[in-house]
Structure formats: C-alpha cells, structure tokens
Amino acid sequence: MTTTTTSMAVGTPGGTAVRTRRPVSQVSIAAGAAALTVIEAYGAITRAAGVPLRAAAFGAHTATQVNAGWLAFGVALGTFWATVLAVVFARCAARPARAFLATTLPLLTLSLTGPLTAHATAATKLTLACGHLIAAAIIIPVVTRRLAAARRARWTLTAVRQRSLVIRRAFIPAPQISICLTGCLLSNSTDLGPVPQRITVDADQVRRLVEQQFPRWAGLPVQPIVNGGWDNWTFRLGAEMLVRLPSAAEYASAVDKEHRWLPALTPQLPLPIPVPLAKGEPGTGYPYSWSVYQWLGGEPASADRIADPIRFAVDLAGFLTALRSIDPADGPRPGKHNWFRGGTLRTYDGETQNALTALDGHIDADLAREIWQTALDVRWDGPESWFHGDVAEGNLLLNDGQLAAVIDFGTCGVGDPACDLAIAWTLLTADGRQAFRERLPGGEAAWARGRGWALWKTLATCAYTLGEDNKEATSARRVLGEIFSEYAIGRRPAAPTARG
C-alpha cells in the first residue's frame, strides 16, 4: 500500500502569516469611556448641588424629549460596556449563546436595577434598557467578528516537500456570532482546536512495538516509507504489510474509525481499499494506538501516469458513487477526527480570506473571491452520504495507468460528499472532468461546493509558495488556472440560436 498522501489538517507554526486589522474597535471603547466619564461627572455635580439627575438633565422638557434623552444615554453607556463585555466573553465563552447572554444580561441588569434608575419609572427603565440593547446589537457583532479576524490572521501554511501537499494551520478561528436586534444567533464557524504537536517515530521503535505486541511478525524487516504522509508515520513491514502510526493525538482519533468502518466498506466498493490486519496499543514510548495494514501495490496517480484520462475519471466517479450508496446510518459525522470534511466550507473561510489578501495583485483576486463566495452561498441540504475526504493524487493508486485502489481513509465520514469533487480540478483533464461530473449526482450546487474545496487548497498553496518557482508552486498555479477557466466557461452565456 502506497502512503504518499495529501492531508489538510491542523499543523505546526512556521511559514507565511498574514495579519489583519486590530481585533477591537479602540474608537468604540474610547468614545464609550468618554461618554461615561462625562455622564458620571455631570451626575456627581448635580448630586452635590442637590438637584435630581433627571431635572438637571432634562429640565421641563416633554416626556418624549425625556425618553429620547434616556435612550441616548442608554446607547452611550451601553456602547462602552457592550464593547468591554464582548471582548471578555468572546475570548472565554465556549459557545456563542453563552457569550451573548453573558454580555447582554449585565447590561439589562444595569438598566433595570442600577443606581441611576433606582427612582425612575418603569417606562424610563425600559427606555434605558432599549438603549443598551441597541448598543449591544451594534457593538457585539463588530467586536466578535474582528476578534475572530485577528485570530484567523494567525494562520500558517507549511508545505512538506514531497509529492503531496500538507496544508497547515497554526491557529484556528474561534466561534463567531452575529446578533440581530432581537438577539437571535445568525451563524457560527467551527473551532478546530489547538495545534497538533507531532512526535517522531523511527524504525527501531516500530520494530520493538511489533516484536512485543505481534510476535508472529517479529523479525520482519521494517523500512520507513519516504513521503509517507503527515498525519501518520508509515513503515513497510516485510513484503506484504504496512505499519501506520499517528504523528499526533488529533490524528490518532482516526485509528478506531478505520478499524470500525473499513472492513464494512470494503465488500461494497468496486476497488480495493486498505483493510486493517491488527491494531496496536501504546508502548515502548509511543503514546497512541496504531495499525498494521495489508500492503496494496501500485503507484500514486499523476497526469503523466494515467493511460486514459476519461476512463480514469469514469472509474473514479464509479468508485465515489458506490461509496455514496453505502448506508450512512451510524457513520462518523464531520468533526475533529476528519477536520470537518463533509461539513461547511465556512470552516476554512478565514484561511481563504487571508490567502486572498496575500495573493492580491498576483492573481485575479476578484474572480477568486467570486468563486469562493459562490461556493459558500450554495448550502448543502441533501441526504447524508459516505465520503472519502481526501481524494488526491497520492491516495489514488495506478496499475498499468489505470485506477487500481483508493487508500488513506483517515478523513472519511458521513455528510456532504462535495469535498471529494476537488480532484476534478487538481488532477483530471477538462474532458475527464466533464465525464466525472456527468456520472456523479448533486447538480450545480454540489459542483460549486466542490470547486470551493479545490479553490481553498489551491489558494493556500499559492500563498505559501508565493515568489517561488518550484514544482509545487507551478502545480498550484496550474490548478488555479483550471478552476478559473472552468468557472468562466460555466458562467458564459449560451450562443444565440440562428433564425430563418
């Protein structure tokens, strides 16, 4: 089994980082603080003079003017406290709903029970509370979005110099919230957690693990596989087996999934896939579960190795169609085990926007943004189905130029299968892409989301390799050209029909 693989997951610090604007509106804080200071000073003077605050502030004006004054006062005071509270709770709240409640409840409490309204009428208190809520509805979304933008800016792309690309993230956006005037939650993005801390494994350690836990295989030669992937350290065990050891705790979560589901998927698929032979346990200083697989022969797919591009595309579409047709009941839903493949593309919106910022002036960024936004706008509402999650050159094995096996199901799951369509732009020819599309269900919406997955990967690679002229950079620019040209052809108006 070949293990050269494309993996897109959380990664290690390093590489190119693009920073965005400051996360908190310092103008809002300063304005709110100044307003609060003036109001408090004014209130202190009037109290010292024995004049009620309401009389000093509004005199003998009409009730409408008085209420308008309280409303303005509520907005001013709410601006300051909403900003402060939004900063605090957007950083520490585990869920957006908690952040909203924790931010607005103190404002309402201040409005209804604070010292300034101790002797006020119910109408006055309600007016002040409305002012606070108006400020909160405006300030909180701005602050939380800008905090999230700053966090997304702390991202990293690291390319592993091998046949496949590993897209790394050094920081993942925390959940965001948008709040309407009634306080409803509008959207949130996914928090993928902390950066995985990779460990190293060598052949001697693998040999000891095998000898201790599987004595029947003791004595077989253990050889590391070059370009064996990022998520796992990969070693050849004898002539017929393969050992895969997760390189971080986050990647280890795929071990149990593969042992649970790959034996069930295998008999229902038209091509061979890896089937685990044994599951190893932590030992000899290695902290995670690991796997022994049967070796699958073949060479990684590439454009120059594929004998018939259209037949290859048809065979791949047939495999994915068969995978989708398998009963998804109880299958693993998108989550940290597969970096939310099968979920929403918005998980990676931050990376994409930062890549576009870095590439502005080097590519047609406006066209790229249009394609990306189109992908975000077409929501998935179809039935759940199985997906591979990482259909890439290194995970498609060829024999005599034909598709012979599909490997590395570490990111597989049940959800939106559009993530499997990215291969249409990263490897297939134009004719192959058309044949591939015609044989897969889903329509234009699924195709647009698949294009979005391909665009995200490609922009990240282009941003990382900006200014370089190596194979990786050339390949990324080629794929970006494929995405642009295919999209432009698709939106081109049909030629008018001749009459007469």
Same domain, residue pair 232 and 329: yes
Which pLDDT value is given to residue 426? 98
- Residue 81 domain-assigned (yes or no): yes
CA dihedral sign, ordered 30, 31, 33, 34: positive
β-bridge mates for residue 260, sequence order: none
- Residue 167 domain-assigned (yes or no): no
- Residue 161 domain-assigned (yes or no): no
Which pLDDT value is given to residue 381? 86
Q: Which of 153, 186, 220 is the last residue of a domain?
A: 153
Which pLDDT value is given to residue 445? 95
Same domain, residue pair 265 and 123: no
- Please report, in tens digits, the pLDDT of each residue of the chain (500 residues total): 544 433 333 333 233 333 333 334 455 555 555 655 655 555 555 555 554 444 444 444 455 555 666 667 666 666 666 666 665 555 444 344 555 566 667 766 766 666 655 556 777 677 767 776 776 677 666 665 555 444 443 333 333 333 333 333 322 232 322 222 222 222 345 666 677 899 999 999 999 999 999 999 999 999 999 887 889 999 999 999 999 999 999 999 999 999 999 999 999 999 999 999 999 999 999 999 999 999 999 999 999 999 999 999 999 999 999 999 999 999 999 988 898 899 999 999 999 999 999 999 999 999 999 999 999 999 998 899 999 999 999 999 999 999 999 999 999 999 999 999 999 999 999 999 999 999 998 899 999 999 999 999 999 999 999 999 999 999 999 999 999 999 999 876 544 444 43
Same domain, residue pair 457 and 396: yes
- Residue 213 domain-assigned (yes or no): yes
Residue with tokens 């029947």: 216
Same domain, residue pair 138 and 229: no
Which pLDDT value is given to residue 81? 64
CA distance to 20, 75, 170, 461, per residue, from 144 (Å): 14, 19, 20, 28
Length of the chain: 500
Which pLDDT value is given to residue 479? 98
Would you state the torsion angle of the CA atoms of residues 76, 82, 85, 87, taken in this order, to the nearest 10 degrees? -110
Overall domain count for the chain: 2
Same domain, residue pair 129 and 225: no
- Residue 275 domain-assigned (yes or no): yes
Same domain, residue pair 133 and 211: no
Q: Which two tokens stand for residue 75?
A: 């907005």
Which pLDDT value is given to residue 441? 86
Which of 360, 8, 351 lies closest to 148, judged by CA? 351
Which pLDDT value is given to residue 188? 40
- Residue 181 domain-assigned (yes or no): no
- Residue 402 domain-assigned (yes or no): yes
Q: Which of 153, 177, 212 is the last residue of a domain?
A: 153
Same domain, residue pair 149 and 202: no
Which of 202, 429, 415, 129 lies closest to 302, judged by CA? 429
Q: Which of 126, 153, 180 is the last residue of a domain?
A: 153
**What's the one-letter identity of residue 153?**
A
Which pLDDT value is given to residue 128? 67
Largest CA distance in the chain: 98
Same domain, residue pair 92 and 228: no
Same domain, residue pair 140 and 238: no
**pTM for this entry:** 0.64
**What's the one-letter identity of residue 113?**
T
- Residue 168 domain-assigned (yes or no): no
Q: Which two tokens stand for residue 168?
A: 């790394």
How far does Cα 460 stand from its chain's mean position?
Answer: 12
Same domain, residue pair 59 and 204: no
Gyration radius (Cα) of the chain, Å: 29
Containing structural domain, residue 330: 7-14+196-491
Three-state helix/strand/coil letters over the chain: CCCCCCEECCCCCCCECCCCCCCCCHHHHHHHHHHHHHHHHHHHHHHHCCCCHHHHHHCCCCHHHHHHHHHHHHHHHHHHHHHHHHHHHHHHCCCHHHHHHHHHHHHHHHHHHCHHHCCCCHHHHHHHHHHHHHHHHHHHHHHHHHHHHHHHHCCCECCCCCCCCEECCCCCCCCCCCECCCCCECCCCCCCCCCCCCCCCCHHHHHHHHHHHCHHHCCCCEEECCCCCCCEEEEEECCCEEEEEECCHHHHHHHHHHHHHHHHHHHHCCCCCCCEEEEECCECCECCCEEEEECCCCEECCCCCCCCHHHHHHHHHHHHHHHHHCCCCCCCCCCHHHCCCCCCHHHHHHHHHHHHHHHECCECHHHHHHHHHHHHHCCCCCCCEEECCCCCHHHEEEECCEEEEECCCCCCEEECHHHHHHHHHHCCCHHHHHHHHHCCCCHHHHHHHHHHHHHHHHHHHHHHCCCCCCHHHHHHHHHHHHHHHHHHHHHCCCCCCCCC
Q: How far apart are CA 73 and CA 127, in angstroms?
A: 10
Same domain, residue pair 367 and 440: yes
Would you state the torsion angle of the CA atoms of residues 310, 312, 318, 321, taken in this order, to the nearest 10 degrees? -90
Same domain, residue pair 410 and 273: yes
What's the CATH code of the domain at 366? Answer: 3.90.1200.10
